[in-house]
C-alpha cells in the first residue's frame, strides 16, 4: 500500500482508492464473511452510530453487535445480491436510541459490508419527495431533442434535486480527458462551463470505479478520515468499491480544496458499459445528502445515460439523412469530376455543414483547391499523397504529427485530418481538416491563482490542470466521431457515383 508521502502527480493512477482503509465521518461500517460469523472490520466511529466501540466488536459474532431482526433483514438483502452486487437499503432501525439507516452489499472478495447512516431526514428545500423530483426532471430533460439540450435541462433538474451549489455535466473523450458541457449554479459561484481537463484529473482507476459504482460522495473536504480497524493485520484489505462512505484520496481532497469546494457528489454516466460522462456536483461548504436523495440522483443518472444513447442514435439517423440529401443535391448539380473542382467553393459549404471541420481541400492529381483553415499545400499534398496500393477509402487521424502523415511540412494550425477517396484506383480526394484543439480551448472562468505550495505540487489546481491539459493535447484535434464518419461515408458514396458518371461522360464523348 502507498503512503501519502509516496503519492505524487506522477503516480496517482496507482493509488489503490478502492481499499483506502478509511471511511468518511457521515457513516460507519462493519464487514466480515458473508456468513456473518465474525466482525473482521469496523470503522472507528462505530460508537457514534451504534453506541459500541469499534475495538470491542472485532472478532465477535455479528449477533453481539446487531439485534436479530436487523441481522435477519441483512441476510435477506445479501442473499438476493448477485455477484454484480448492488448496495441495498436494509431499513431504518432504532438502535440504542438512535434512528439508523442500514445499507448492505457484497463486496468483491465475497464479504458482507454493512453501512450505517444517520436516520433523521434532512429537510429538502421543497416538499416534493426525491423520487417525485427525479421523475419530474427526467421528464423535462427527456423532452429535449438533442444530447446537448438534454444535458442543459438535466443539470438544472439535478441541482434542484440535490441542492448542490454548482452542477456540471462533464463529457469524457476517448482518451479520458473531458469538458464541462453544461452547468447550473448559484449566482455567486464561479463557472466552469467550457473548461477542459486532462485525463489525469480523473485517473484511470477512478474512472473505472465510476462505471462499477456511479455514485461518489465526498461530504467534507476538511473532515478527518476515519480509520477502519481490522481484526488482524494479515486480512486482505477491505474492498470498498461499492460503499458510499469510502474514504477519499488525499490527493483528490487537496484538488477539491484548491478548487474552493467543500463537498461533492458525482454521478457517472455509463453508456453501453463505457464511461461516457458524469454529473459533478459541487457545494461551497460541506454537504451530506441523505441516502434516499443520493439514490434518486443515481436513478436520474441511470436514466440520463439511457437517454444519451437514445438521443445519440436519433441524432445519428438525422445526420445520415442530412448527408444523403446533400449527396443527392450535389450529384444533381455536378456532372463530372472537373465540375466538382470548379464547384468546390460553393460545394465546400455544403460539406462543411455535414462534417464539423475548420477547413477543407479537394485534391485531384495535382490540382488543389482549399477552403478556410488548412495546412500548407506541400503538407496537403504529402498527406494526400496518392498511393494506389492503399485500399482505405476513408481514413482519419486526430494527430497528423503523431501519425507521421505530413513529412515535416508546415501544418499551420491544423492537427487532424479526415480523407475521403472516390475509389482506390482514382486519384480524387476530399480532405477535411481540424485545428489543434488547445488553440480553440477557452479557459472560461478566470483562472484561479496557481497553488504553488500544495503538498502535491502546483498541478493540483484548476489552472495547473489547464497547463497539463495543454501538454497532453498538444498537436491533437478533436477526435473524429462516429457522427463524422457516418457523413463521410455518404460523401464517399457520392464521390464514387460522381467519378463513375464522369467516366461514362468521357466514354460517350470519345465515341
Binding site for ligand BLA (CB under 6 A): 9, 12, 15, 17, 168, 170, 180, 192, 197, 200-203, 206, 216, 218, 248-249, 251-252, 255, 264, 266, 280, 459-460, 465
Give least dist CB 281 to ligand BLA, A.
Answer: 8
In whole angstroms, the minimum distance from the beta carbon of 43 to ligand BLA comes to 16
* Identity of the residue, 13 or 413, whose beta carbon is nearer to ligand BLA in the bound complex: 13
Which triple of cell numbers denotes residue 45? 466511529
Tell me the closest approach of the beta carbon of residue 9 to ligand BLA, in angstroms. Answer: 4
User: 10 Å Cβ neighbour count for 306?
Assistant: 13
Shortest distance (Å) from residue 51 CB to ligand BLA = 29
Q: Which long-range contacts (CB under 8 A, 24 or more apart) does 394-398 make?
A: 394/418, 394/419, 394/420, 394/421, 394/485, 394/488, 394/489, 394/492, 395/419, 396/480, 396/484, 396/485, 396/488, 398/434, 398/476, 398/477, 398/478, 398/479, 398/480
**Which residue number places its CB atom closest to ligand BLA?**
12
Nearest-approach distance from CB 179 to ligand BLA, in angstroms: 9
Q: Do 433 and 358 contact (CB within 8 A), yes or no?
A: yes
| Residue 306 C-beta: closest distance to ligand BLA, Å | 21
438-454 burial: b if 16+ Cβ within 10 Å, else e:
beebeeeeeeeeebeeb
Q: Give the whole-angstrom CA distance, residue 259 versus residue 463.
A: 10
Residue 176 vs 502, nearer CB to ligand BLA = 176
Q: Give Cα 286 distance to the centre of its chain.
A: 24
Q: How far is the CB of 140 from ligand BLA (least distance, A)?
A: 23
Residue 319 contacts by C-beta under 8 Å, 6 or more apart in sequence?
Answer: 354, 483, 486, 487
In the complex with ligand BLA, the residue whose CB is nearer, 25 or 32, is 25
Total count of residues recorded for the chain: 511
- Which residue is listed with cell 466521431? 481
Measured CA to CA in angstroms, residue 452 lies from 185, 252, 258, 449, 471 at distances of 28, 16, 10, 9, 19
What's the rounded Cα separation, in Å, for the pair 159 and 306?
20
Angle, helices 291-333/344-354, rounded to nearest 10 degrees: 160
User: Which strands sit side by side in the sheet containing 111-118, from one edge to the other?
Assistant: 22-23, 226-230, 41-43, 27-33, 111-118, 98-107, 88-95
Residues 311 and 145 sit within 8 Å (Cβ to Cβ): yes
Q: Which is nearer to ligand BLA, 65 or 253 (CB)?
A: 253
Reported in sequence order, the residue ranges of 263-349 that DSSP labels E, i.e. its strands, are 263-271, 274-283
> Which is closer to ligand BLA, CB of 218 or CB of 473?
218
Question: At its nearest, how many Å lie between ligand BLA and the CB of residue 198?
Answer: 8
CB closer to ligand BLA, 168 vs 434: 168
For the CB of residue 183, give the shortest distance to ligand BLA in the complex, in Å.
9
CA-based Rg of the chain, rounded to a whole angstrom? 28
Shortest distance, position 279 Cβ to ligand BLA, whole Å? 9
Question: Which DSSP string do the residues of 227-243 spell out, in sequence order?
Answer: EEEESSTTSPPP--TT-
- Residue nearer to ligand BLA on the CB measure, 15 or 371: 15
Q: Which residue has the cell 464539423?
A: 356
Nearer to ligand BLA, 26 or 426 (CB): 26
Residue 26 or 432 having the CB closest to ligand BLA: 26
Q: How far is the CB of 256 from ligand BLA (least distance, A)?
A: 7
Q: Which is nearer to ligand BLA, 163 or 384 (CB)?
A: 163
Nearer to ligand BLA, 193 or 357 (CB): 193
Amino acid at each position: 500500500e502507498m503512503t501519502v508521502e509516496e503519492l505524487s502527480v506522477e503516480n496517482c493512477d496507482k493509488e489503490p482508492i478502492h481499499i483506502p482503509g478509511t471511511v468518511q465521518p457521515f457513516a460507519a461500517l462493519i464487514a466480515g464473511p458473508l456468513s456473518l460469523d465474525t466482525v473482521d472490520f469496523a470503522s472507528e466511529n462505530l460508537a457514534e452510530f451504534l453506541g459500541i466501540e469499534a475495538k470491542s466488536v472485532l472478532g465477535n459474532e455479528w449477533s453481539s453487535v446487531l439485534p436479530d431482526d436487523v441481522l435477519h433483514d441483512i441476510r435477506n438483502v445479501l442473499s438476493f445480491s448477485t455477484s454484480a452486487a448492488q448496495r441495498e437499503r436494509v431499513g431504518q432501525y432504532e438502535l440504542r436510541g438512535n434512528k439508523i439507516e442500514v445499507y448492505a452489499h457484497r463486496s468483491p472478495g465475497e464479504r458482507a459490508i454493512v453501512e450505517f447512516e444517520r436516520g433523521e431526514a434532512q429537510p429538502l428545500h421543497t416538499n416534493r419527495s426525491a423520487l417525485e423530483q427525479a421523475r419530474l426532471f427526467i421528464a423535462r430533460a427527456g423532452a429535449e431533442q438533442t444530447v446537448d439540450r438534454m444535458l442543459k435541462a438535466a443539470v438544472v433538474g439535478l441541482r434542484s434535486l440535490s441542492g448542490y451549489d454548482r452542477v456540471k455535466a462533464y463529457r469524457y473523450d476517448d482518451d479520458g480527458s473531458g469538458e464541462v458541457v453544461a452547468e447550473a449554479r448559484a449566482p455567486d459561484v464561479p463557472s466552469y462551463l467550457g473548461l477542459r481537463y486532462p485525463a489525469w484529473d480523473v485517473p484511470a482507476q477512478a474512472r473505472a470505479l465510476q462505471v462499477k459504482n456511479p455514485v461518489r460522495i465526498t461530504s467534507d473536504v476538511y473532515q478527518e478520515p476515519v480509520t477502519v480497524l481490522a481484526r488482524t493485520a494479515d486480512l486482505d484489505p477491505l474492498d470498498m468499491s461499492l460503499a458510499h462512505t469510502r474514504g477519499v484520496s488525499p490527493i483528490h481532497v487537496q484538488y477539491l480544496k484548491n478548487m474552493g469546494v467543500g463537498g461533492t457528489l458525482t454521478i457517472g454516466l455509463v453508456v453501453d458499459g463505457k464511461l461516457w460522462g458524469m454529473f459533478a456536483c459541487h457545494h461551497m461548504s460541506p454537504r451530506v445528502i441523505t441516502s434516499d436523495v443520493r439514490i434518486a440522483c443515481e436513478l436520474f443518472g441511470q436514466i440520463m445515460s439511457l437517454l444519451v444513447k437514445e438521443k445519440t442514435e436519433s441524432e445519428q439517423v438525422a445526420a445520415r439523412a442530412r448527408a444523403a440529401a446533400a449527396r443527392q443535391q450535389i450529384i444533381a448539380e455536378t456532372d463530372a469530376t472537373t465540375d466538382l473542382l470548379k464547384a468546390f467553393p460553393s460545394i465546400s459549404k455544403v460539406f462543411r455543414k455535414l462534417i464539423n471541420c475548420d477547413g477543407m481541400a479537394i485534391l485531384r492529381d495535382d490540382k488543389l483547391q482549399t477552403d478556410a483553415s488548412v495546412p500548407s499545400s506541400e503538407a496537403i499534398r504529402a498527406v494526400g499523397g496518392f498511393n494506389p496500393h492503399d485500399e482505405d477509402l476513408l481514413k482519419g487521424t486526430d494527430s497528423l504529427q503523431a501519425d507521421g502523415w505530413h513529412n515535416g511540412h508546415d501544418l499551420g494550425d491544423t492537427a487532424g485530418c479526415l480523407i475521403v477517396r472516390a475509389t482506390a484506383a482514382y486519384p480524387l480526394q476530399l480532405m477535411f481538416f481540424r485545428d489543434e484543439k488547445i488553440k480553440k480551448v477557452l479557459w472560461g472562468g478566470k483562472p484561479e491563482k496557481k497553488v504553488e505550495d500544495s503538498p502535491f505540487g502546483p498541478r493540483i489546481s484548476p489552472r495547473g490542470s489547464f497547463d497539463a491539459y495543454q501538454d497532453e493535447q498538444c498537436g491533437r484535434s478533436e477526435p473524429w466521431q462516429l457522427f463524422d464518419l457516418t457523413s463521410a461515408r455518404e460523401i464517399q458514396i457520392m464521390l464514387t457515383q460522381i467519378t463513375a458518371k464522369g467516366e461514362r461522360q468521357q466514354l460517350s464523348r470519345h465515341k
